[in-house]
Structure 1
Amino acid sequence: MKKQHKDEEYKSFLGLTPLIVFLVIFMSTGAITKSFTNMPILVGFMFVLAYSLCLNRKGEKLSLDEKIEIFSRGGGESTIILMVVIFILAGAFYSVANAMGSVESTVNLGLSILPTKAILPGVFIIGCIISFAMGTSMGTITALTPIAVGMSQQTGIALPLIVGTVVGGAMFGDNLSFVSDTTIAATRTQGVELKDKFKMNGLIVLPAVIVTLIILACIPIGNASIKVGAYSLLKVLPYVSIIICALIGFNVMVVLAVGILTGSVLGLALGSFNVVQLFGFIQRGFGWMQDLSLIAIVIGGIIELMKYYGGIGFLLDKVTSRVKSKKGAEAGIAALASLIDLATANNTISIVTAGPLAKDISEEYDIDPRRTASILDIFSSAFQGLVPYGGQLLVAAGLAKISPVQLMPYSIYSILMIVFGALSIILGIPRFKRQSN
């Protein structure tokens, strides 16, 4: 037990250097090749893993086997394994839906309903609604990305733009939904009610939603002639099923399983494939997500090594030591959540890690705990929608078959969350009356 406590308290800049090494490799490759999409994410992190295994704490030296054990513990952490299962189920669903014509029918139905100029705002709004109901950005991205890809092919809208719009809508619910794990983590660590955090959080990000819709409505999508093809309402049912399950509040794995089952039964009934072909399509979907699964596992292991080497402790210490005023305290909480999310690529872990320290800071500087919970959730969710090695951009890019780096500039809502979150801190708004304890 003493050793575990010592591990948690250990702080060292050395523990942050694996992340710095990745950024150097990534930026250098992009600068040399003049394209930031040329560096494969998995290859980059394998270099980082090799570097991480060469490190040691000051005055302490572990064997390679012991370091690999730490790496394996992080890569096999329950959240990582759950993410991997979601990845492969998402691939299977997309593959089956595509094979039975569900994607094409859903795209054509959407194009027949949405005017051309309203496609981008429409996709964003739908993403916001589904993610708010489902409470998870991953499930929303899984459901909408294939449809967005089809719309891009039909309309000529740039693929990174429309898929980035999906990611933005997904992060809306990830941040605000009552059933989102980030919302639950933020409210529990600060001891506030869900509805109170929602009111504070909602007022901060509402301008970001409005400005996002205006920007999307103003983006020219060319003079592409949209030819709306035929669609079958029956073939749309796999997507309808996962949306209904999401609205009911089922676990994302159950949602995807229902979607796969619905697509499989309908595909067999309509003669789109036989049982043997169905198994092949499911396996094909698994294969599409193998790279993403490996990336998630490797990142999880590297993060565990970074924790052991003191990187996360170093971050916490440096940010909190610079807090001098109430406004600075709020900025410190935002920086804490953001930096830990960048280091761990997991906004829930970011909130859980930063939450107790943020509570201490808010009490010392008399910050409304509803505001603290909102700041934690807004900034961690915003950066989660922008990091190219985070699960959200990885799964969206995997389904769209593009680099996650291409999505970063088009996650417009995530960027605006940071902008309006920062303005909220600078201007000290919204102002609510403090609740009596």
Structure 2
Amino acid sequence: MQQPPAPQFLGLTPILFFVAVVLCAGLITDDITAMPVLVALFLAAGYALILNPKGERLSLNDKIGRFCEGAGNKNIILLVIIFLLAGAFYSLTIDIGARDATVNMALSVIPTPMILPGLFLICCFISFSMGTSTGTITALAPIGLGLSEGLGVSPALLAGVVVGGAMFGDNLSFVSDTTIAATRSQGVKLTDKFKANLLITLPASIITFILLMFVPVADTSTLQQGDYDVVRMLPYMLIIICALIGLNVVLVLAIGIGSAAIIGLLVGSFAPMAMWQSIQTGIGWMQNLSLIAVTIGGIVALMHAYGGIAWLINTLTRRVQSRQGAEYSIAALVSLLDLSTANNTISIVAAGPIAKDLNEQYGVDPRRTASILDVFSCAFQGLVPYGAQILTIAAVGGLSPLSVSMYCWYPMLLFVFGVVAIAFNIPRFVTVNADTDV
């Protein structure tokens, strides 16, 4: 059996190198978006290939092999497939007029002051039903971003609204992979973790809703509103319905693509060959994002091999002396793991066993621990500009991921109320029930 790598800080530096490259380029050019994300990641990957595990030297071939194993991880490849299918769906729905029809309907039906809060609530509902933030963003990004011009609101702000609503369900849903990972790792019921999370997510979501009501938007009554054809909106309706009944996200996207293609042919939006060209165009939009996901997967694999993740875990748990200190350490651990891996499920899986040991040693209720793991991992996942959620919507809207992060108010508030919950011991559980209904 292969021995785990010895912990060392040097193994964590590839992700720090990436952040430093982006920040330095931004300081030099006065533009934080100046450095392309993929180029910065390639530089970080090159730097990672120079490093070695503590007390061991790996050949370049071995390092490249480990990088490729991480890049080719089944979850990464699935993410790439979702990205490419999403691109095809976006392109087709734009070409058949689905986006414009949805925008026109929204402008004519929803009261102007409630459009942004309404969009946030819709995203919360869909993500809670689907249990996936990426799937929610895939479904609603074109709709949300399509409202930008008509409302006179920054597309980055609208992207932040969609991401925030998507992270609501990712954190709270019973079928979310983060919920399942957190409850399984601590041996608690889904309902207990839900109750603990609800006391944190509700104030965060309510405040987000109120803040969005005060964002100034254009008076849509003075805008020239176009006609809308409900038929052209059917692909959006179909994927939302399919997501709500729990279909796999790949199947949901396939149904969306098929319905958009058929409708486009029936209403004369394009000829058959033009339809295939539209699909290819959308796939092309997502090629850069797919390479980013693959590269991040490879870098994370090298960080594991070099002992960087192990060092991070050991450092954060070294000086714990009380129950509250243990809870803060668990929160910091899962947060930094998410910043390092850009994957909240992976960060929960990695932090779970350490958190369980801290439960036993310092008397932390495992139901609180499950909640802490999920809350903080989702908060940071909704903020990191190199995470799948923000990268996806940034690619759809042609935006800088950093500009989107600035408007992700719900994840910011989720972090704040997570800290408050630890500080004031919210919620207080009377007894510990270690059964699980997962």
Residues 268-417 of structure 1 aligned to structure 2 (within 5 Å): 268-417=265-414
Equivalent residue, structure 1, for 2:178: 182
1:367 partner amino acid:
V
1:12-51 paired onto structure 2 within 5 Å:
12-51=8-47
Conservation of the 8 A alpha-carbon contact between 2:123 and 2:165: yes
2:154 is aligned, of 147, 154, 158, to 158
Check conservation: 1:155, 1:226, Cα contact below 8 A: no
Aligned-residue offset at 1:114: 1.5
**Residues 54 and 306 in structure 2, CA contact (< 8 A), matched pair in contact too:** no
Supply the distance in 2 between the matched residues of 1:46 and 1:309 (Cα, whole angstroms): 18
**Are the counterparts in 1 of residues 238 and 255 from structure 2 also a CA contact under 8 Å?**
yes
Secondary structure of 1:46's match? Answer: helix
Cα deviation code 1:288-309 (max 9, x no counterpart) = 0000000000000000001111
Which of 234, 237, 241 is the matching residue for 1:237? 234
CA contact (8 A) 2:7 2:54 kept: no
Report the alpha carbon displacement of residue 27 of structure 1 after superposing the two structures with TM. 1.0
- Partners of 1:18 and 1:48 within 8 A in 2: yes
1:6 aligns with 2:1: no
Shift of residue 32, structure 1, vs aligned partner: 1.4
Question: 1:251 and 1:436, CA in 2 relative to 1: closer, same or farther beyond 3 A?
Answer: closer
How big is each residue's C-alpha offset from its partner over 1:37-67, in whole Å with a ceiling of 9 and x where there is no partner? Answer: 1111000001101111111123321111111
| Amino acid paired to 1:352 | V
Structure 2: how far apart are the matches of 1:70 and 1:164? Answer: 35
Q: Which residue of 1 aligns with 2:252?
A: 255
Following the alignment from structure 2 to structure 1, what is the Cα–Cα distance between the partners of residues 353 and 272?
52
Contact 2:54 2:307 in 1 (8 A): no
Aligned partner of 2:103: which letter? Answer: V
User: 1:6: how far off?
Assistant: 2.8
Q: Distance in 2 between matches of 1:226 and 1:404?
A: 30
Q: Tell me the C-alpha RMSD between the 2 structures.
A: 1.1
| Counterpart code for 1:139 | G
Query: For residues 135-156 of structure 1, what are the alpha-carbon distances to aligned partners after superposition, in whole Å with 9 as ceiling and x for unaligned?
Result: 1001111111111121002121
- 1:432 correspondence with 2:429: yes
- Deviation readout 1:108-157 (Å, 9 max, x if unpaired): 11222211211111111000000001110011111111111210021211
Contact 1:154 1:227 in 2 (8 A): no
Aligned pair 1:64/2:60, yes or no? Answer: yes
My pick for the range that moved more, 418-427 or 105-114, is 105-114
TM, length-normalised to structure 1: 0.97
Q: Which amino acid is 2:371 matched to? A: S
Alignment check: 8 A CA contact 2:88 2:281 kept: yes
- Between the aligned partners of 1:409 and 1:323, the Cα distance in structure 2 is 32
Deviation at 1:436, TM superposition (A): 4.8
Whole-angstrom distance in 2 between the partners of 1:110 and 1:139: 21
Partner SS state of residue 6, structure 1: coil
| Structure 2 residues not aligned, in runs of 5+ | none
Q: Confirm or deny: 8 A CA contact 1:96 1:263 kept in the other structure.
A: yes
How far apart are the structure 1 equivalents of 2:259 and 2:335? Answer: 39
Q: 1:228 maps to which residue? A: 225
Output one character per residue of 1:175-196: Cα deviation in whole Å (capped at 9) or x when no partner.
0111110001001001111111
**TM-score where L is the length of structure 2:** 0.97
The residue type paired with residue 271 of structure 1 is: G
Task: Check whether the contact 2:366–2:432 (CA below 8 A) recurs between aligned residues.
Answer: no
Q: For residue 222 of structure 1, report the CA deviation from its aligned partner.
A: 5.0
Counting matched residue pairs gives 433
- Of 84, 88, 91, 1:88 maps to 84
CA distance in 2, matches of 1:329, 1:413: 25
How far is 1:337 from its partner? 0.6
Aligned-partner Cα distance in 1 for 2:202–2:54: 47
Instruction: Compute the displacement of 1:322 (Å).
Output: 2.1
State the Cα distance separating 1:228 from its structure 2 match: 2.2
- For the 8 Å contact 1:242–1:256, the answer to whether it is kept is yes
Q: Equivalents in 2 of 1:204, 1:385: separation in Å?
A: 16
Aligned-residue sequence identity (percent) comes to 55
Change (3 A) 1:34 1:144: same
Q: Deviations over 1:192-240 (max 9, x none)?
A: 1111111111111111011111111112235574332110111110000
Decide which of 186, 200, 212 is 1:216's aligned counterpart: 212
Aligned 8 A contact 1:204 1:430 in 2: no
Indicate conservation of the 8 Å contact 1:325/1:365, yes or no.
yes
Q: Which position in structure 2 is the counterpart of 1:192? A: 188
Residues 123-134 of structure 1 mapped to structure 2, 5 A cutoff? 123-134=119-130
**Most deviating of 149-158 and 72-81:** 149-158
- Gaps of at least 5 residues in structure 1 are none
Instruction: Tell me how far apart the structure 2 counterparts of residues 223 and 237 of structure 1 sit (CA, whole Å).
Output: 27
